[in-house]
Amino acid sequence: MAQRLDIDGEWHRVSPKYVWIVIVGSLVGAAFSAAVVVLVWWAFAWVWWGWLLIAALVVGYGIQLVVAPRRARAIGYRMRDDDLVLRRGIAWLRIVAVPYGRMQLIDVQRGPISRWLGLSDLRFITASSGSNVSIPGLPAELADELRDRLIALAETRRAGL
Amino acid sequence: MNNLADGQWHRMHPATPLLRGGAALIAILAIVFANLREQLIGWIAHVPDGASQGDPVSQIMRHGWGLWAALGVLAFLGLVTAWYRLTWRMTEFRVGADAVELRSGVLNRQNRQARLDRIQGVNVHRTLFARIFGAARLEIVVAGNDANLHLQYLHSAAAEELRRQILGISHRVIAAEAAAVDALPGAAAGAAGSAAPADLGAILEARADEFLTPADLHPDAATPDSVVKVHPGRLIGSIVLSPFTLVLVALVVWLAFEVVRGNYYLLVAVIPTVFGLFTGYSRRFGRLARYTVSGSADGVRVGYGLLATSSETIPAGRIHAVGVSQPLMWRPFGWWAIRINRAGRGKQRGQAENASVVLPVGSLEDVARVLPLLLPASPAASLDLLMNATARYSRTAPPIFSRAPRAAMWLHPFAWRRIGYAYVGDTVALREGFIDRSLTFVPLARVQSVAVRQGPIHRWLGLAQVAVHTVDGRIRPRLAAIGLTAGEQLFDQLASSAVLLASRDAKG
C-alpha cells in the first residue's frame, strides 16, 4: 500500500559534501541540547530519570546522524522549461514548483562551514511565504551560475503579481 | 471643481492641518477643560477653594499668572497650527503618466510613488471628524509592506472622482504596456513611456467632462442591480454567533453562580472585563454596519462603516484567492462569509482580518451575486453549481468535485467525502470541511507556486496533500487529502496552467 510520491524525470542532486553540513549541524544541536539536559538534571539534583533524557538524546541524534546522508541525497531540483521544481525530505516529502516569472528575489548564502567546504545555499523568495524554497549545498560556482541563469529567466518571463 | 488628475502638483484640502492636528487640539482642550472644571464650578457655585490645592490651574490662578498661562497656551496652539500649516504647504501630490507621486515633509523631504500599473486598489476612508468637514482620505494600495500612499485629506467629492480617474488610468496604462510589449519586444518601455502623455491628456479631458457631476458618496447609492446589502439584524446575529460568545456566556453563568453563593467581590473584578468584551462586539458592528457590495467598471466596490466610513475598490485582477466559508454556528441560518487574499495587505497587520473581508455575512443568494464580481473570468452558472455542491452536499448527486479515496477516511473521518477540487474556467476551486464548510477559489493566473507533500501516514495510506501558494492572507488554499496519482497529476496540471495563464495575463 505504501507508495512514494514522485514526479517523472531526472533530479539534479546537491553536492555530496553537503552531508558534512548536516552532520556538523546535528552535532552542534546535540551538544547544545546535552548542555541544557545536564543543566536541568543538575537543577533536579541528579534524579534517576536524568539517564532517560540522556538516552533519548543519544538515540534521537544517533538516528539523525545515520539518516544524514539519505537526507542530503533526498534534496533534488530540476529546471523545467517554465518553472523550477524542488524536492526535499524523506519521511515528510515535499515537492514545490515555482514558475520563473514568480521569483521576486534570489539569495546566495554561505555559512562558515559551507565556505570551508566551498558550498553555497540558494534561496528563492516569491510573493507568498508558503513557497519557502531553497537549495542548500550547491558548489559555489554552480550556485552563482544558477542564480544568474534564474535571474535571466525570471526577467524574460516577468509577470505582475 | 478642478481636475486633480491633470498631471500637475496639487495640495490637499485646506482644512487638513485642522483635521490632522484635530486629535491633538481636542486633547489639549480636554486637559485644559478638565483642570478648569473645578475652577468653573467654584466660580459658579462659590464653593470654598480647598480641595484643589495641588491642581496646577488653581495654583496658577492663586499666583495671578492667569494671563501668562492663557498666552502660553495660545502661543503653543499657534505654533502647532503653524507647523501643521507648513506641512500642508509642503505636501503635494501629482497623478503623472505612469505613477501617483506624493512629496511631503518639512525637514525630511519624502517622495513616494505608486506606479499606476502596480496599484492593487484605491480606498476612500472618512473618519467621523473628517466627515463633518466633508473631507476624506484616499489610500492607494500597492504591494509591499507599508508601501501604501495616503492622500489626506481631500474634498470627499474630489477624492471619489480622483479614485475613478486613478483606477481608469491604471487600467489603460496596463493595457498600453501589454500592447507595447506585444508590438515591440525590444523597445517596449520606451515606446509605452513616450506615447502615453499625449494620449492621456486627451483621455483626461474627456474624463473630466464625464465626471463633472458630483460622484455619489453614499454607499447606499451604488448601482442597484448588483448590490448586496447586509441587513443590520443579520450582521448582529453573525457577530453574536461565534465561539467567542460561548466563552462569554460561560463566564457570565459562572459569575452569576458565584454571586448567588455570596462571592460579591468577583463582580468588581470581572464585570469590567465583560463590559470590555461587549465593546468588542459593538466596535465590530460599528465597523461593518451599513455594508454594501457592488460591481463597477473598475472593480468590486465595498462600502462600510457607521461613524467612520470607508469605501474600497478592488480591481478584479488584483484578487489572489477567494474563500467562501460557513462556521458551524451559522449553518442553521444558511449564512456564509466571503474573504479574499490580496497583495498590499500583509497578514502581520492588525487590520488584516478587516481588510480581507468582502462579505461579512450573507445568504447563499448574496454569495451567488458577489462571487461573479470577484471572479469575472469564470461563468456565473458554474460558480453557482459549485457553491450549491458545497452548501447542499448529497451523496447521490452527480459528483462535481474530485473525490478523495476511501483511505482518507482514517485521517478525515467526517470530511473526507467533501475534500475535492474542480476547475471553473481559469480558476481552481477547492472544497473542504465537514464542521466548518468552505470553498476556496484561486485564479490560476495569480498562483505563486504549487506544492505537493506526503508525510509518513499519507504514504502508508497512499495519499498526498496539495497546496496552492498565493500572496499571504487569511486564506491558505490546500487540499488536505487526495489520492497519490491524482495528487501528482493535479500538481502537474496546476504548475503548468499557472505558468501558461500568468504569461497570458501579463500580455493582457
Instruction: Please state, for a pLDDT cut of 70, what percent of chain B lies above it.
Output: 82
User: Which one has a higher pLDDT value, A39 or B394?
Assistant: A39
What pLDDT is recorded for position B23?
A: 67
State mean pLDDT over A64-88.
Answer: 91
What is the phi/psi pair of residue B396, to 5°? -90, -20
Q: Which range among A14-28, A87-101, B29-43, B52-66 shows the weakest confidence by mean pLDDT?
A: B52-66
pLDDT band at B366 (very low <50, low <70, confident <90, very high): very high
pLDDT band at B135 (very low <50, low <70, confident <90, very high): confident
* CB contact set of A102 (below 8 Å; sequence gap of 6+): A126, A127, A131, A159, B448, B449, B502
Instruction: Output b/e per residue, B286-304; b: 16+ Cβ within 10 A.
Output: ebbbbbbbbbeebbbbbbb
Question: Left if phi > 0, otherwise alpha if psi is -120 to 50, otherwise beta: which for B33?
Answer: alpha
pLDDT band at B185 (very low <50, low <70, confident <90, very high): very low
Angle at B480 between CA B477 and CA B483, to 5 degrees: 120
pLDDT band at B207 (very low <50, low <70, confident <90, very high): very low
What pLDDT is recorded for position B141?
A: 87
Q: What is the DSSP string of B108-163?
A: S-EEEEEEGGGEEEEEEEE-HHHHHTTEEEEEEEESSTT--EEEEEEEHHHHHHHH
B506 and A160 in contact by Cβ < 8 A? Answer: yes
Report which DSSP code applies to B406: G
Chain A partners within 8 Å of B472 (Cβ) = 128-130
What pLDDT is recorded for position B210?
A: 33
State mean pLDDT over B401-413.
Answer: 92
User: Which one has a higher pLDDT value, B135 or B507?
Assistant: B135
What pLDDT is recorded for position B213?
A: 30
Mean pLDDT computed over every residue of chain B: 81
CA distances to A68, A116, A119, A123, B370 from A110, rounded to whole Å, are 20, 9, 7, 11, 49
pLDDT in tens, B163-179: 988 888 888 888 777 77
What whole-number distance in Å separates Cα of residue A104 and Cα of residue A86?
17
B118 and A160 in contact by Cβ < 8 A? Answer: yes
Partners of residue B336 on adjacent β-strands: B362
What's the gap in Å between the CA of A123 and the closest CA on chain B?
14
Q: Is the pLDDT of residue B198 over 70?
A: no
Kindly state whether B459 is in contact with chain A, defined as any CB-CB distance less than 8 angstroms. yes
* CB contact set of B240 (below 8 Å; sequence gap of 6+): B281
Pick from A92, A101, A128: which is nearest to B469 by CB? Answer: A128
pLDDT in tens, B90-128: 899 999 888 899 998 888 888 888 888 888 888 898 888
Question: Are the beta carbons of B222 and B303 closer than 8 angstroms?
Answer: yes
SS3 for A92-126, per residue? CEEEEEEEHHHCCEEEEECCHHHHHHCEEEEEEEC
Chain A partners within 8 Å of B464 (Cβ) = 5
What whole-number distance in Å separates Cα of residue B304 and Cα of residue B375?
21
Cell numbers for B117, please give them. 500599473
Spatial CA neighbour of B327 closest among B399, B251, B408, B244: B244
B451 and A95 in contact by Cβ < 8 A? Answer: yes
What's the gap in Å between the CA of A113 and the closest CA on chain B?
30
Chain A partners within 8 Å of B460 (Cβ) = 1-2
B506 and A1 in contact by Cβ < 8 A? Answer: no
Residue written as grid cell 471643481:
B1
Report which DSSP code applies to B377: T
State mean pLDDT over B437-448.
Answer: 94
Kindly state whether B455 is in contact with chain A, defined as any CB-CB distance less than 8 angstroms. yes
pLDDT in tens, B244-302: 888 888 888 888 888 888 877 877 877 788 788 888 888 888 888 889 898 887 888 88
CA B442 to the chain's CA centroid: 19
Q: Is the pLDDT of residue A120 over 90?
A: yes
pLDDT band at B2 (very low <50, low <70, confident <90, very high): low
Q: Which of A3, A6, A88, A134 to mutate to test the interface with B (most CBs of B within 10 A)?
A: A3
Q: Is the pLDDT of residue B387 over 70?
A: yes
Q: Is the pLDDT of residue B44 over 70?
A: no
Contacts 24+ apart (CB under 8 A), A33-39: A33/A57, A33/A61
What pLDDT is recorded for position B215?
A: 34
Pick from B447, B459, B491: which is nearest to A7 by CB? Answer: B491
* CB contact set of A45 (below 8 Å; sequence gap of 6+): none
What pLDDT is recorded for position B218?
A: 42
Kindly state whether B489 is in contact with chain A, defined as any CB-CB distance less than 8 angstroms. no
Chain B partners within 8 Å of A97 (Cβ) = 449-451, 491, 495
Mean pLDDT computed over every residue of chain A: 89
pLDDT in tens, A127-146: 888 888 899 999 999 999 99
What pLDDT is recorded for position B425?
A: 86
Kindly state whether B471 is in contact with chain A, defined as any CB-CB distance less than 8 angstroms. yes
State mean pLDDT over A26-43.
Answer: 91
B505 and A159 in contact by Cβ < 8 A? Answer: yes
What's the gap in Å between the CA of A9 and the closest CA on chain B?
12
Which pTM does this prediction carry? 0.80
Kindly state whether B451 is in contact with chain A, defined as any CB-CB distance less than 8 angstroms. yes
B503 and A128 in contact by Cβ < 8 A? Answer: no
A2 and B460 in contact by Cβ < 8 A? Answer: yes
State the ipTM, two decimals.
0.89
User: Which one has a higher pLDDT value, B396 or A90?
Assistant: A90
What whole-number distance in Å separates Cα of residue B361 and Cα of residue B83?
45
> B251 burial class (0-12, 13-18, 19+ CB within 10 angstroms)?
middle
Dihedral of the CA atoms B247, B252, B254, B260 (nearest 10)? 180
What pLDDT is recorded for position B220?
A: 39
What whole-number distance in Å separates Cα of residue B138 and Cα of residue B159?
6
What pLDDT is recorded for position B211?
A: 33
Chain B partners within 8 Å of A157 (Cβ) = 499, 503
Q: Is the pLDDT of residue B186 over 70?
A: no
Report which DSSP code applies to B93: E
B453 and A92 in contact by Cβ < 8 A? Answer: yes
Helix (H, G, I), strand (E, B) or coil at B298: coil
What's the gap in Å between the CA of A38 and the closest CA on chain B?
33
Q: What is the DSSP string of B27-57?
A: HHHHHHHHHHHHHHHHHHHTPPS-TTSS-HH
Q: Which of A88, A128, A129, A131 to mutate to test the interface with B (most CBs of B within 10 A)?
A: A128
Q: Which of B476, B499, B500, B504 to mutate to test the interface with A (most CBs of A within 10 A)?
A: B499
What pLDDT is recorded for position B307?
A: 83
What is the chain A residue with the closest CA to B464?
A5
User: How many helices (H) does chain A have, and how many strands (E)?
Assistant: 4, 7
Question: Are the beta carbons of B129 and B312 closer than 8 angstroms?
Answer: no
What pLDDT is recorded for position B201?
A: 45
What is the chain A residue with the closest CA to B448?
A102
pLDDT band at B452 (very low <50, low <70, confident <90, very high): very high
B491 and A94 in contact by Cβ < 8 A? Answer: no
What pLDDT is recorded for position B508?
A: 53
Count CB-CB contacts under 10 A for residue B378: 20
What pLDDT is recorded for position B200?
A: 44
What is the chain A residue with the closest CA to B507?
A159
What pLDDT is recorded for position B132?
A: 80
What whole-number distance in Å separates Cα of residue A12 and Cα of residue A73?
10
What whole-number distance in Å separates Cα of residue B429 and Cα of residue B475?
13
pLDDT band at B203 (very low <50, low <70, confident <90, very high): very low
State mean pLDDT over B483-494.
Answer: 94
State mean pLDDT over A48-56.
Answer: 87
> B285 burial class (0-12, 13-18, 19+ CB within 10 angstroms)?
middle
Partners of residue B142 on adjacent β-strands: B119
CA B431 to the chain's CA centroid: 24
pLDDT band at B377 (very low <50, low <70, confident <90, very high): confident
Chain A partners within 8 Å of B452 (Cβ) = 5, 94-95
What whole-number distance in Å separates Cα of residue B374 and Cα of residue B119?
17
Question: Are the beta carbons of B296 and B117 closer than 8 angstroms?
Answer: no
What is the phi/psi pair of residue B322, to 5°? -125, 125
Question: Are the beta carbons of B327 and B433 closer than 8 angstroms?
Answer: no
What whole-number distance in Å separates Cα of residue B496 and Cα of residue B428?
13
Q: Is the peptide bond before B304 cis (omega within 30 degrees of 0)?
A: no
